[in-house]
Chains A and B, each alone.
Chain A
């Protein structure tokens, strides 16, 4: 067992964890943050993407102890003042969601992209979400959703 401190979605935690625990297990099993999904367990599908200190990570490949001292943002942390994030709203509005299993990870990747590059081209959006697999949508409506989110963010929606 090992004790770690970390901040998840703006909240500080001090937790005792097994050394072999992965970050995704910490989020899901310890904190009940079930929006982070496991699709492959090898960092290939991106369903478990969260933002760790400003960078996207696949939480199935990060050990929980490696998150000691860091700030983690998950899909549950995107809501502010009772309002969902503009990317979430845009995904709803353009129909970027089908089965939904890739959606939280996809939105986290989109957020990390827009945080760094607020005005990406369609190609840059494709590249930004290329680590997130989706089997349902063919990605185009997801790219539409990120483009619309750019407008929403500019409009302060």
Chain B
């Protein structure tokens, strides 16, 4: 017999190393030949899209095209330390560092442009599309290329450092401000349980994820789908089958992760509520996107069957056994 049910999961997630530990990201911006701008930052691209998102933050701040930017984030001998690509901290922490470095770089450009353009003040000078110009008398202008030709490759630089604000918790009471910012989400799923086999099939899902402000909505949706899939495996079948310290499922023929057939088209909704301390309001979502899915599945299984599973994963064998126990064998109402 097949039974349908729906469930919801809601979660919050605190970003960063947290708990008063210095959480520092640094970035450097350098003017290069041909007027190109190098952004040097230790924000690692693991596949999540950090490089693209940080590049967008940089281009937005510098008001230049993406093509004019060289983005260097691979080599420790070239880039400053921006902390780990973890704790969903790259967009918020390193994004802030990139933004600050770009602003500092613009200030440097404006100072130099004031001298080059023989102006009395930096007031009214704007940086846009690779040029510095006086807004109310645009004939006064100088390009990045002209500046680098005069000052030389690598001479004009800006730097930025961002340190997240957290307060260490009291060891006895846990009172403190362990993380910032927090990211929120909610997921509803509808599923069907085959009471004979214990198989769970996800039929539909609505997933709303707070992003503060989505720097790149496609990247956010990609994370949401990926987080959903990983959580689906976590809830229903992934199992290392530990036995006295030995991993028995130590390869993909035994450790099953979701395939395209296991996934469904999730209705993803990005909720925006910009965070004032974040770069353009953007908060990290890389980890949060995994969190509310598994509990929503568990609640939906209960809604469908009246059986509450308190131990992961909900394998067909486990669910069938629980259904049998609940119904004194037979697996139906």
Contact = CB atoms under 8 A, between A and B. Distances in A.
B97 to A, nearest CB: 23
Interface majority SS on B: helix, strand, loop or mixed?
loop
Interface residues of B, number: 26
Contacts of B274: none
Given A44-B253, A99-B47, A133-B252, A126 B226 contact: no
A39 B257 CA distance: 13
Contacts of A142: 260
A134 B263 CA distance: 11
B219 A136 contact: no
A135 interface: yes
A40 interface: yes
Contacts of B162: none
A126 B261 contact: yes
Contact of B259 (A94, A95, A133, A141): A133
A68 B222 CA distance: 41
Nearest to B45: A99
Majority DSSP secondary structure for residues of A touching B: loop
Given A99-B47, A100-B47, A137 B261 contact: no
A6 interface: no
B123 interface: no
B261 A127 contact: yes
Contacts of B150: none
Given A40-B252, A98-B47, A99-B47, A138 B229 contact: yes
A45 B253 CA distance: 9
A140 interface: yes
Contacts, number: 80
A152 interface: no
B95 to A, nearest CB: 19
B257 A137 contact: no
B53 to A, nearest CB: 12
Contacts of A130: 259-261
Given A45-B252, A143-B260, A136 B47 contact: yes
Given A100-B47, A130-B261, A138-B228, A42 B222 contact: no
Contact of B222 (A100, A125, A127, A141): A141
A98 B48 contact: yes
Given A127-B260, A138-B230, A140-B266, 13 more contacts: A42-B251, A95-B218, A99-B46, A136-B226, A137-B222, A137-B225, A137-B226, A137-B229, A138-B222, A138-B225, A139-B263, A140-B265, A142-B260
6 contacts: A126-B261, A135-B257, A136-B222, A137-B229, A138-B222, A139-B263
